[in-house]
Amino acid sequence: SAVISQKPSRDICQRGTSLTIQCQVDSQVTMMFWYRQQPGQSLTLIATANQGSEATYESGFVIDKFPISRPNLTFSTLTVSNMSPEDSSIYLCSVEIAGGPGNEQFFGPGTRLTVL
Amino acid sequence: QKEVEQDPGPLSVPEGAIVSLNCTYSNSAFQYFMWYRQYSRKGPELLMYTYSSGNKEDGRFTAQVDKSSKYISLFIRDSQPSDSATYLCAMSPYSSASKIIFGSGTRLSIRP
């Protein structure tokens, strides 16, 4: 498994501003993921972040709105840009650990974002 | 139609009861099936995973996959108040779980 921390754990932001969320892992991992979880909803994958390459975004998510950095094998950031109330959600990072017939994903505790 | 359907609940049962949580799916390519448990204000925690059809048991938890019916289940025996959480099923079409499709989660409450 892996120990994953996220900062901040929660924030309240004003419309039009940006917030950068940090994800730190206690071991080196190749694949990191960013998800959004809206109240009562499932997890929606925003993008996959591999070290040394551009992040791969899912349909409906764009780099200008959700820029991602992956400077090394233990760290990633997700920025939520030009925020609106619709961006209020929980943002989660996860990592993939190789092993077994499939590669399990382990999640951080999440960042609870409220946009006013 | 969503790729993965899961009854959101809430489901409330007395302590000691057997709990059955279920998901259906439409993509026959799914091979790798997982259950995550998410406590309030926490990230999802991997509970169990199974590959292809069959059963897998881990303590009080049993995961069951029926690929012919596109139906997966998680059974919790001797349920405890500490089992109160949201349970998310998840599945992937490849042996690598790189892209996981999640159900919407079932909120479970165990009454003491």
Read off the pLDDT band of A103 (50, 70, 90): low
Give the separation between CA B77 and CA A47, rounded to whole angstroms: 37
Q: What is the C-alpha end-to-end distance of chain A, expressed in Å?
A: 36
pLDDT at A54 over 60: yes
Q: How many CB pairs under 8 A join A and B?
A: 62
pLDDT at B35 over 90: yes
pLDDT at B59 over 80: yes
Nearest-CA residue of chain B relative to A110? B43
Report DSSP state, residue A90.
E
Contact residues, chain B, for A48 at CB < 8 Å = 98-99
DSSP string over B36-93: EEE-TTS--EEEEEEESSEEEEETTEEEEEETTTTEEEEEESS--GGG-EEEEEEEES
Q: What pLDDT score was predicted for residue B97? A: 47
CA dihedral A97, A50, A37, A114 (to 10 degrees): 130
Q: What pLDDT score was predicted for residue A89? A: 96
Best mutation target among B100, B106, B107 (most A Cβ atoms within 10 Å) is: B100
Structure tokens at B71: 């139906």
Q: What pLDDT score was predicted for residue B95? A: 57
Nearest-CA residue of chain B relative to A10? B41
Q: Do A104 and B43 touch (CB under 8 A)?
A: no
Give the separation between CA B3 and CA A59, rounded to whole angstroms: 15
pLDDT at B55 over 60: yes
Q: What pLDDT score was predicted for residue A101? A: 58
Q: Do A92 and B44 touch (CB under 8 A)?
A: yes
Q: What is the mean pLDDT of residues A76-92?
A: 97
pLDDT at B44 over 70: yes
Contact residues, chain B, for A112 at CB < 8 Å = 41
Phi and psi at residue B8, in whole multiples of 5°? -75, -15
Computed over every residue of chain A, the mean pLDDT equals 92
